[in-house]
Amino acid sequence: MEQTAVLSFVFVSVKTNPIIYIRIININIDEGFRLQYTSDNKSENINSLFVSYRTGDFDFRRIFMERVVTIECDTVKLAATLHYPTCGKEKLKNKNWPLVIVCHGFTGSRIGANRLFVKAARDLASKGCLAIRFDYGGCGESSGAYGDGGLDILIEQTRYVLDYALGIDCVDKSRVYLLGHSLGGAVALLTAEKDTRVTSLVLWSPVAHPFSDIVRVVGQETYERIHERGAIDYLGYLLTERFFTSLTKHHPLTPGHRFLRDVLIVHGSGDEVIPVDYCYLYERVLRHRVTGTCEKHVINGADHTFSTFDATEELLAVTGSWLERMEGKSANWSDWII
């Protein structure tokens, strides 16, 4: 996958030449980048940067395959990071990539505890997916106030991210995954029930009872003070009565789910935030649907954020394997389409 003279940069140097133009003159995703710089009407090749990239000292691939964007959502601006596929050139020739949108949990961010979502997005990109991780309003680098809204707002913002992502030309609209962690897992499922563009779900340690689970997280005594001034302070987030009221209106485990596609659930047996029992509850409800598969995987000893190296590796391996099987299933079905 080679291109010529596709990107140019301007570097300003006070000590040496005032302006140095650097242009990429040759890109090969699998091998590296050849650069050229021009200064004082002289042109020379920069082989050292190319060699440095090849040896891993200078990761040019990551600079160009990850991009920070802003997604407009009514009055809120959502910060997001796009991860373009970084797999082998054979897969990259087919610019018809599956999409995975990562939904973080309660008062979280698109980075995640122990950089979980960064690792996940990069792993997904290495497998040929276009991955997007984003901050909900009032979290991370997004504008807005997280505690002013509630689940309805989170669902709406997720759908805005879907709008944005599906506007990217290389995305395969028939392969759209939501990957949600904790409260983000519940949001992903509730979004998928409303939005038929979502074709599959991955739920990591998903919340099952939004109101009672979040009250338990902030603390019962803390929550009971909400009536004193209409909001409570949790880790610097002001959570309003409206926020908690919205949690009471949504029940992910309600029988008769309208989402009738495939679901993967992964939970840690050592999760002290969201009980691992929820994994089995989700499986029981989702397996009673008229169609759509549901698989579960419990990681022995893993906590809520899969914080150990081994837990993260197993989480990503299980998720990646499941996605590959879903992709194979999708390819087999497409052979029957006339």
- Residues 158-214: tens digit of each pLDDT: 999 999 999 998 899 999 999 999 999 999 999 999 999 999 999 999 999 999 999
What does DSSP say about strands 171-181 and 130-134: parallel, antiparallel, or unpaired?
unpaired
Strands (E), 209-250: 231-234, 237-240
Give the pLDDT score at 290. Answer: 85
- Mean pLDDT value across residues 233-257: 90
User: Could you read off the pLDDT of 58-103 as tens digits, one per residue?
Assistant: 444 445 589 999 999 988 999 999 999 987 555 556 668 999 999 9
Sort 86 into a burial class: Cβ within 10 Å, 0-12 / 13-18 / 19+: buried
Residue 245: count of CB within 10 angstroms of its CB: 12
Q: How confident is the model at residue 13 (pLDDT cuts 50, 70, 90)?
A: very low
What does DSSP say about strands 19-28 and 7-12: parallel, antiparallel, or unpaired?
antiparallel
Domains and CATH numbers, the chain: 2-58 (no CATH), 65-328 (3.40.50.1820)
How far apart, in whole angstroms, are the C-alpha atoms of residue 332 and residue 338?
13
CB-based contact 283:216 (threshold 8 Å): no
Alpha carbon 167 to its chain's center? 17
Q: How confident is the model at residue 229 (pLDDT cuts 50, 70, 90)?
A: confident
Question: Which pair of tokens denotes residue 104?
Answer: 């973080």
Average pLDDT over the chain reads: 82
The model carries a pTM of 0.81
Phi-psi region of 52 (alpha: psi -120 to 50; beta: other; left: phi over 0): alpha
